[in-house]
Amino acid sequence: MIRVSIVGASGYSGVYLIQALSSRPDVSISVITSNSNAGKKLPDFSPLFAKKNPENSLLSEIVFSLFDADLIAGSSDAVFFCLPHNESSKLMPDILKKNKDVKIIDIGADFRFDDLSIYEKYYGKHGAPEMNTDFVYGLSDIFYNKIKNSQFTANPGCYPTGALLPILPLVFKGCIDFSSPVIIDSLSGISGAGRGLKTQNLFCEIENSAKAYNVWSHRHLPEIKEKIEKAFLNSPAKQDKFMPDVIFTPHVIPVSRGILTTVYLKLNEGISRKNIAGIYENFYFGSPFVSILDNIEDCDIKNVVYSNNCHIAFEMREEDGGGSMVKIVSAIDNLGKGASLQAIQNMNLMFGLEPDFGIPQYSPYP
């Protein structure tokens, strides 16, 4: 039995973790914390948990508590952190002093960057810089071998997940001509902004509308850029005189969840559609969650929401001056693949389980 605690359990990602983990016979939820809901039982917090799950009959009796490092350390094999940036890094050391073997999956941003100066430029002073090198970047379907051997995993952001899964295989194989920028447009459901009350996220503000935001300053841009640059430096094209330039534009659209990402890339000469298809097929061979579709118009968030799946499709255009352009579209659920379900996939890998073990598959169709 894997004993799990969830710190910051009343936000969207925390609630989704509780819901998904509660159906697993091999997991017991020990502690859930929430500053704003401390003392409440789960059913009092949300009727979603009113019915007892026969495989976790104590679920309806679980009470939100304030953070208690001793309690969590003594009753957990794994701890999920679902906190705003620069919060989880302040709390982890207290748990590790009491339980040095506990595994940690951080859904927040604190340990996603190799370069702490980039993190501090966009997020502020880091709470535990001495721990940063202990963490593996938890893009599960790409870095699974490293995650398997790690005690600490940093879940990627939702936008970076949707962008990096289609981009990184092509970077690793040296297919991209970086004399042109990598252009990424992403459309996200409103749940990506979290549960906090903001005027711009009210129903009357967002319904029947769509808008770009933080077009040059979104915090996920440096995360995407760092991972592309690192992959580039480990690719056959690393001697290229051009370093990757990334232009990322996030948009919010009037749906609850899901991210549709379109990537525009210039390819090196001689790269064909067959080459790209083969790279994706080989790279994601055996992956239970990443599917390469034949038709780019079939890449639709409706087909992936409430799941840990990522759908990818692409179309190419040959340029008169040589080389080709490719448009790649990916679809994920920002709360599933972009947060909670990928975090569970990482937990599975860290405990030596199959990556898809116990991860629910939902079909919202139609």
212 and 102 part of one domain: no
Residue 335: Cβ-neighbour burial (10 angstroms; 0-12, 13-18, 19+): buried
28 belongs to a structural domain: yes
The CATH number assigned to the domain holding 288 equals: 3.30.360.10
User: Is position 262 within any domain?
Assistant: yes
Task: Verify that 10 and 133 share a domain, yes or no.
Answer: yes
Assess whether 232 and 106 both reside in one domain.
no
Do 177 and 282 share a structural domain?
yes
Does the residue 366 lie in any domain? no
Same domain, 63 and 199: no
Identify the band that residue 281 occupies on the pLDDT scale cut at 50, 70 and 90.
Answer: very high
Residue 239: which domain range?
A: 159-333
Asked if the structure places residue 310 within a domain, the reply is yes
Total domains in the fold of the chain: 2
- Return the minimum-mean-pLDDT range out of 150-154, 160-164, 194-198, 344-348: 194-198
As given in the structure block, the two tokens for residue 189 are 């459901």
The reply to whether 19 and 86 lie within a common domain is: yes
Residue 87 shares a structural domain with residue 47? yes
Taking the C-alpha atoms of residue 55 and residue 358, their distance in angstroms, rounded to an integer, is 13
Regarding whether 301 and 181 lie in a shared domain, the answer is: yes
Domain at 77, CATH number:
3.40.50.720
366 preceded by cis ω (within 30°)?
A: yes
User: What residues are annotated to the active site?
Assistant: 158
d(CA 32, CA 113) in angstroms, rounded, equals 27
Does 76 lie in the same domain as 171? no
Let me know whether 74 and 199 are in one domain: no
Segment 164-223, tens digit of pLDDT: 999 999 999 999 999 999 999 999 998 776 666 677 777 777 778 888 998 898 999 999
Q: Are residues 126 and 163 in the same domain?
A: no
> What is the rounded distance in angstroms from the CA atom of residue 293 to the CA atom of residue 30?
40
For residue 189, tell me if it sits in a domain. yes
pLDDT tens, residue by residue, 288-302: 999 999 999 999 999
Do 130 and 8 reside in the same domain of the chain? Answer: yes
Residue where the block lists tokens 């969840």: 257
Q: Is 306 left (phi over 0), alpha (psi -120 to 50) or beta?
A: left
> How do beta strands 259-267 and 324-332 pair?
antiparallel
Q: What is the pTM assigned to this prediction?
A: 0.93
Of 91-105, 160-174, 308-322, least confident by mean pLDDT is 308-322
Q: Does a structural domain hold residue 150?
A: no
pLDDT tens figures, 39-73:
888 888 888 787 655 555 567 778 899 999 999 99
